């Protein structure tokens, strides 16, 4: 059934006049008469009969009136009413997919925004494999992802660049085997801590080394980035990590950045969201919170190719 026919029914019921109903709906009188004839045929009842007071409803018409009014009210209030999101009163919990490094970079910014204009809302940080993340974002259980996710592709997902990042080497502040700049021989012979995790930027760096046939001596493989600086600070091992993490621990008294003997690769960090959430006012608000911080992220110069002397 064409739901517009129900609007025609209500208009005639309330106006008791075909002409009055047509005026109320902004229709021509012949057009309304045609619509009413279609509805009568579909329901198998005349619905209205001409009487002394105008178009009087039949018994079926009177029985339908309140139900049709309820249906149209629900359509107007739920289906046709534009969604409204008020960050000041919302108690929504946003689920954001982040790596452990990204939590340290982006979450403080988002939390400050929540405290300033959305104090009743909360965040839940989640970490998933790219395949899991695609499924959760499609299902609406993850609102947005921020970081390096090269496997998230296809027309179902949208993205916007936050910044460019690269890599840096960190070592003990007083490492006996290396100064502020590393030679290729030192890179190959020094013990390395390496992070291994699906979909991480470290895979990009590993492919970079393989393509150039650069070797390194790995003494520890870990799935976690945030533990690496503490290991380096208490050992003779070195580690190549995203520049953002090297900067995050730049004030640590026992850690220094060491310039690599080559220019490491640069990778793009994006915001990702599913197309189904593109018009959602709450998702739009969260994206804008992060987008407003883009100049801040870019000013940190995470793509400077591991040159500690250029630290912003």
pLDDT digits (tens, 9 = 90+) for 32-58: 999 999 999 999 999 999 988 899 999
pLDDT at 311 over 70: no
Percent of the chain with pLDDT over 90: 62
Comparing CA positions, the residue from 202, 163, 181, 162 lying closest to residue 307 is: 181
| pLDDT of 52 | 83
262: left (phi over 0), alpha (psi -120 to 50) or beta: beta
Question: Is the same domain home to 280 and 160?
Answer: yes
Which of 225, 243, 259 shows the shortest CA–CA distance to 167? 243
Q: What is the mean pLDDT of residues 279-297?
A: 86
**Of 9 and 151, the one with more pLDDT:** 9
What pLDDT is stored for residue 163 in this prediction?
Answer: 85
In this structure, what CATH number is given to the domain that contains residue 125?
Answer: 3.40.190.10
Residue 274, classed as helix, strand or coil, is strand
Decide if 46 is inside a domain: yes
Based on the fold, state whether residues 261 and 273 are members of the same structural domain: no
> Into how many domains does the chain fold?
3
> What is the C-alpha separation between 93 and 210, in angstroms, rounded?
42
- Tens digits of residue pLDDT in 158-188: 999 988 899 999 999 999 999 989 999 999 9
pLDDT at position 312: 40
Can you tell me the distance from the alpha carbon of 217 to that of 225, in angstroms, rounded to the nearest whole number?
18
Q: Are residues 55 and 190 in the same domain?
A: no
Please state, for a pLDDT cut of 70, what percent of the chain lies above it: 96
Give every CB contact of residue 108 below 8 A, 6+ residues apart in sequence: none
Residue 107 CB-density burial (10 A; 0-12 exposed, 13-18 middle, 19+ buried): middle
- Which of 7 and 305 is assigned the larger pLDDT? 7
What span, in angstroms and rounded, lies between the C-alpha atoms of 285 and 85?
A: 8
Res 308: pLDDT: 60
Q: Mean pLDDT over all residues of the chain?
A: 89
pLDDT band at 127 (very low <50, low <70, confident <90, very high): confident
Q: Read off the pLDDT band of 112 (50, 70, 90).
A: confident
Query: What per-residue confidence (pLDDT) applies to 24?
Result: 93
**198 falls in which pLDDT band (50, 70, 90)?**
low
- pLDDT at 235 exceeding the cut of 50: yes
Beta bridge pairs of residue 217: 191
Evaluate whether residue 87 is within a structural domain: no
pLDDT at 199: 56
Residue 201 lies in a domain: yes
Residues 172 and 257 in one domain: yes
Shared domain for 8 and 134, answered yes or no, is: no
Locate 17 and state its tokens.
Answer: 């006049």
Q: Domain residues for 10?
A: 4-79
Question: Residue 62 pLDDT > 50, yes or no?
Answer: yes
Q: What is the CATH number of the domain that holds 29?
A: 1.10.10.10
pLDDT at 270 over 70: yes
Residue 85 located in a structural domain: no
Region for residue 109 given its phi and psi (left: phi exceeds 0; alpha: psi -120 to 50; beta: otherwise): alpha
Which pLDDT does position 115 carry in this prediction?
Answer: 85
Query: In terms of domains, do 149 and 278 share one?
Result: yes
Distance CA 44, CA 38 (A): 10
Confidence of residue 225 (pLDDT cuts 50, 70, 90): confident
């Amino acid at each position: 059934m064409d739901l517009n026919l129900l609007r025609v029914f209500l208009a005639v019921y309330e106006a008791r006049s075909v002409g009055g109903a047509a005026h109320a709906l902004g229709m021509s009188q012949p057009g309304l008469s045609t619509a009413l004839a279609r509805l009568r045929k579909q329901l198998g009842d005349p619905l209205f009969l001409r009487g002394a007071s105008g178009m009087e409803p039949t018994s079926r018409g009177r029985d339908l009136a309140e139900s049709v009014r309820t249906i149209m009210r629900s359509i107007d209030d739920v289906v046709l009413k534009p969604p409204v999101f008020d960050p000041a009163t919302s108690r929504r919990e946003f689920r954001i997919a982040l790596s452990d490094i990204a939590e340290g970079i982006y979450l403080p910014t988002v939390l400050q925004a929540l405290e300033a204009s959305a104090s009743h809302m909360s965040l839940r940080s989640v970490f998933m494999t790219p395949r899991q993340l695609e499924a959760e974002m499609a299902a609406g259980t993850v609102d947005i992802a921020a970081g390096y996710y090269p496997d998230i592709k296809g027309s179902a997902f949208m993205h916007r660049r936050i910044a460019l990042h690269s890599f840096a080497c960190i070592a003990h502040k007083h490492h006996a085997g290396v100064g502020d700049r590393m030679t290729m021989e030192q890179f190959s012979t020094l013990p390395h801590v390496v992070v291994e995790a699906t979909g991480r930027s470290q895979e990009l760096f590993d492919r970079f080394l393989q393509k150039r046939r650069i070797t390194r001596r790995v003494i520890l493989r870990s799935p976690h980035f945030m533990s690496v600086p503490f290991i380096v600070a208490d050992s003779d091992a070195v580690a190549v990590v995203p520049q953002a993490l090297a900067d995050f621990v730049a004030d640590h008294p026992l850690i220094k950045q060491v310039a690599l003997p080559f220019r490491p690769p640069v990778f793009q960090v994006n915001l990702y969201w599913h197309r189904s959430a593109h018009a959602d006012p709450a998702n739009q608000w969260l994206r804008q919170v992060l987008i407003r911080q883009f100049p801040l992220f870019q000013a940190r110069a995470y793509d400077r190719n591991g040159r500690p002397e250029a630290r912003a």
